[in-house]
Amino acid sequence: MDSIPEGLIKPEFERRYRKLLGDEYEVLLSFMAKRPIQSIRINPMKVDPDWMVGKLESLGWELEQIPWYENGYRVLEGPDRLGNTKWHQLGLYYVQEAASMIPPVILSPKPREKILDLAASPGSKTTQISEMMRYEGVLVANDVSPSRVDALASNVQRMGSLNVIITMMDGRSAPYKLGQNLFDKVLLDAPCSSLGEARRSWGALVRWSPKSVNRISKLQVSLAKAAYKTLKPGGVMVYSTCTLEPKENEWVVYNLMKAGATIEEVQIKGLRWRPGIERWLNWEFGREMRKTMRIYPQDNDTLGFYVALIRKPA
């Protein structure tokens, strides 16, 4: 079995995560040491999903449907990487990790809505939202730098996401450049320390430190407050990260609650998750955090994620 190289786990990381997970700490490390199962999201706006599944299976791929998204499939085995096929190039499917499909499912986009994806690159969730909207309505997809916007634009074009408008700005300026109280729904899949992606690359463990977590958390709070300002009264926002750090997750949502936001409970069929934590180190977040979702790699054999559904009172 794969194992994380000796010396990669910092003593402070072990101290914190043993406190967070107790006896399950070693289970977390064992999953972090395994490569994630590849998965795809079929684009129903370009191809009949049943046809696509049948075609891939006839050529030797073994697929398993992902319980929480009807057009998502795990790739258990196959003759080639699915990113190398002509169907991928044509945008008939998108190679996307299974847990990454969860935030759009919770956002539950509908046709004719006006939606903002504030930190959108490379476009996996943007194109998923667009498909769930049936290309009806407006989806503004934003990112901060030319290189990130190039990646976003490439995937939006490949997937044929006709209702997407791409913008480039620091997300913290969105309320002033796009407008306040404007969008029915907002997704902020925030930049983070990426600990949940350690299964893909141990670089997240190398870079991890309490100092870097605190620095990223300040940016996340600023982005979350900006995203919340763009939301219409009565609208909903999903805040998500691919990290397990309370300072980047519950702490950020707690700051939105102080700004007047309420937290909504969610249920997703077939998904195992843990409630958010009420306290961490010297911080008290409150019982409302139990409505938010912690998704550990060992829960569903995926990457790690955190997701919160937030409403702006009418």
Catalytic residues: 242
Distance CA 297, CA 273 (A): 10
Whether the Cβ atoms of residue 97 and residue 37 lie closer than 8 Å to each other: no
Query: What is the CB neighbour count within 10 angstroms for residue 270?
Result: 10
Tokens at 26, concatenated = 């070693």
Q: What is the DSSP letter of 35?
A: P
| CA nearest to 125, candidates 160, 91, 97, 157 | 97
Q: Rounded to 10 degrees, what is the CA torsion of 119, 252, 218, 174? A: 40
Query: What is the CB neighbour count within 10 angstroms for residue 224?
Result: 26
Tokens at 178, concatenated = 């796009």
Whether the Cβ atoms of residue 133 and residue 110 lie closer than 8 Å to each other: yes
Whether the Cβ atoms of residue 72 and residue 66 lie closer than 8 Å to each other: yes
Cα 108 to Cα 166, 222, 238, 266, distances in angstroms: 21, 24, 10, 11
Tokens at 257, concatenated = 């609650």
Distance CA 239, CA 10 (A): 28
Burial 158-191 (b: 16+ CB within 10 A, else e): bbbbebbebbeeebbebbeebeeebbbbbbbbbb
